[in-house]
A and B are shown apart, each in its own frame.
Chain A
Amino acid sequence: MNSEVIASTANKARQLNAEEIAEIEHEMTLYPDKKAVGLEALKIVQKHQGWVSDESLLAIAKYLDLPAADLEGVATFFNLVYRQPVGENVILFCDSVSCWIMGCDNMKEHIQNTLGIGFGETSEDGKFTLIPVPCLGGCDRAPVMMVGEELHHNLTPDAIDEIVSKVRS
C-alpha cells in the first residue's frame, strides 16, 4: 500500500449535507435506537453520493454515535452497499438458477463484451457498473437484470444492446 492510499483512508469524517441529515433524522423516528438506523443511513448517503466513502462512513458513525468498525461491519456485509465508486447506472445481473437454465451465461458474455467490463467493474465512460446479484424474483421471465431501479426481463443480445444504447444516449 502506498502512502497516497493510506492518506485516502483518512480518519476524518466529511460533513453530511442537510438533505442527508433530514432523511436520517426521519429514519430515527421509526426505530427505537440509533444503531438500527445504520443501514438506512448508509443507503441514504449512497443515494446522494453514489457510494459510501470512508469519509462518509465515518460521518454516519459520528452522527449516530456508533463505533465506525461496527458500521463498517454492516456496510461490508450487504451486497447493495457500495464501498467503492460505481458508475451512473448499476446493473444488477441475475445469475441464479432459473436465469442460468434460461441461458444467462450467454447474456453475461454479451453484456460484458458490449460494455468491455467484467463483474465488479465500471465502464470507461463511467456510465455502467456491472454486478452479479442473487435471484431477482423474475424467474418466469428469465433471464433478467436490473438497470438502476428498472427490471428488464426475457433478455436477448438485441434487448441488451437496446437497453445499453438507450442509457448511453
Chain B
Amino acid sequence: MTTKPLTKNIDMSRGPLDISAYEAADGYQSLQTIAKGLSPDDVLQKVKDSGLKGRGGAGFPTGLKWSFVPQGENSPQQKYLVVNADEMEPGTFKDRLLMEGDPHLLIEGMLVAAFTIRASKAYIFLRGEYVVAERALNKAIAEAAEKGYLGKNILGTGFDLDIVVHTSAGRYICGEETALLNALEGKRANPRAKPPFPQVSGLWGKPTIVNNVETICNLPSIISYGIDWYHGLTKGSDHGTKLFGISGKVKTPGCWELPLGLPIRQVIEEYGGGMQDGLELRAFLPGGGSTDFMLPEHLDITLDYDEIGKVGSRLATGTMIILDNKTCPVGMIGNLMKFFAHESCGFCTPCRDGLPWVDAIFRELEEGRGSEKDLEILHEHVDYLGPGKTFCALAPGATAPLGSGLRIFKEDFERHITGKCCPYKH
C-alpha cells in the first residue's frame, strides 16, 4: 500500500485522473467499504482512532470535532459539511496542489465526512483566484454524480449528498471558520462570537463541520486501508502524512507529502535542496505567516504539532518560509504586517486600528524615520493584539511573527533606527 495517500495520484505534468483512472487506483474504495455496512458511528470511531488532526492550521483532532455535532431525532435534521478551501495564509500553497492535482480525493473524503456527521449538503468554499481548481472540482463532482456517488440514496445506503463549489472573492478572514460561514450566507465576512460553535449552530443556524481540504483528503485512505496502516505512516508522535512546503531562497522550493515527525533539517536539505549558494539560513516561519520564527538551533526538532509547540511556535499549515542572511528581517515582518492590516475585517477595534498603526511604523522604519519610541509601540501592540484581546485569531496571528521577530532581530530593528535606513539596502 502507498506511503503517500494524499499525493499518490498527483502528477502536475498531466491533468488530474478522471473517475475511471481514479477508481483503478483504489478510488472511492472508502465509499464502497461504508456501503458494505459501516455506520456513521463506526466511521467516527475510526477517525478518532486514527489520531488525525486538522491540517488547516489549528491542529484540532478531527474525530473529536465531529463528535460535537448533535445527532439523534431531536437534533436539527439538516446538517452541513463545509470544506475550507480558501487558502490565503501567506507562504501556503498546499491545498492548491491537492485540488488541482487530484480533485476526486477531496470529493471522496467529503463523502466520508458527510456520511459520518449525517450532512446531506456540502459546500466547498474555494478561493476565487483558484480557477484551475474550480474547474477540476466541478468536473470531478459531475463525474461522481454520474456514477451515483453523489445525489440521493448513494449506493443504496440511504445517504444523500450534494456538493456545491462556492467561489469566494478574496478575503483572508474567510479562512476563519465563522467568518467563512457568514460569507457563505452572503454576508460580510466578519467572524461570529463563539459559542455557539459551528458544530452546534453554524451555517444558517444548523450544525456544521468546517474542515480544511488536506484534512478531508486524509479520510479515504483511513477508511480504505485501515488504522494500522495509517499509524504506520508517521515517523513521529502525530499520525499520518502531511504536505510540507518550502518557499524562500532554497535551491529547490516546493511542496511534498512526507510522514509527520521528520527533522526540519532533513526536509530543508533533502527536499528543499539546502540554501542557495552564498546564503545562510537565518530563521524560518514553520507554518505560514502567522507562526513564530524559529532559528537554525531548532533544525533538529521534528515536524510534529507538539514538538514545534514546545519551542513556542506552531506547525500550522506546514509550509515553511525561509529567511536568509541577506534578506532584511524587518522588511519581511513589515511585509506580513501590511498583509494583516489589509486583511483585517475591521470589526473589532484593536485589530482594525492596531494593525494599520503597526504597518505604518514598519514603513517609517524602512524609510529611516523610526525611533526608539516606535519600538516600544510595536512591543505594546504584541500585547494589545494578542490572544484573548481581539474578536478572532487574525490579529493574534499577526503578533506571532511580530513578537518573536522583535525579540530575535532586536539588533536589526536598532540598526534601522540608528543608521536611519535599511542596512540591507545600503
Contact = CB atoms under 8 A, between A and B. Distances in A.
Contacts of B335: 95-97, 100
Contacts of B170: 78-80, 133-134
A81 interface: yes
B7 interface: no
B398 to A, nearest CB: 12
Interface centre among A30, A97, A142, A151 (most CB of B within 10 A): A97
Contacts of B345: 77
A39 B345 CA distance: 17
Interface stretch (B60-68, B110-118, B125-133): B125-133
Contact of B245 (A100, A101, A102, A139): A139
B267 to A, nearest CB: 13
Nearest to B87: A137
Contact of B92 (A39, A102, A139): A139
A97 B319 CA distance: 12
Contact of B88 (A30, A39, A135, A151): A135
Interface in B260-316: 289
Contacts, number: 129
A35 B249 contact: no
Contacts of A50: none
Given A78-B168, A81-B169, A134-B172, A39 B186 contact: yes
Given A136-B129, A137-B87, A97 B289 contact: yes
Given A96-B335, A134-B343, A139 B183 contact: no
A74 B188 contact: yes
Interface string A96-120: 1110111000000000000000000
B79 interface: no
A74 B289 contact: no
B10 to A, nearest CB: 14
Contacts of A35: 185-187
24 contacts: A30-B164, A33-B185, A35-B185, A35-B186, A79-B169, A96-B90, A96-B289, A97-B336, A97-B339, A98-B90, A98-B321, A100-B335, A101-B324, A101-B327, A135-B89, A137-B87, A137-B93, A137-B129, A139-B93, A139-B247, A139-B253, A140-B247, A142-B247, A142-B253
Query: What 10 A-B pairs are tightest by C-beta distance, nearest first?
Result: A78-B169, A79-B170, A139-B247, A98-B247, A140-B253, A80-B169, A35-B186, A36-B186, A38-B186, A137-B93
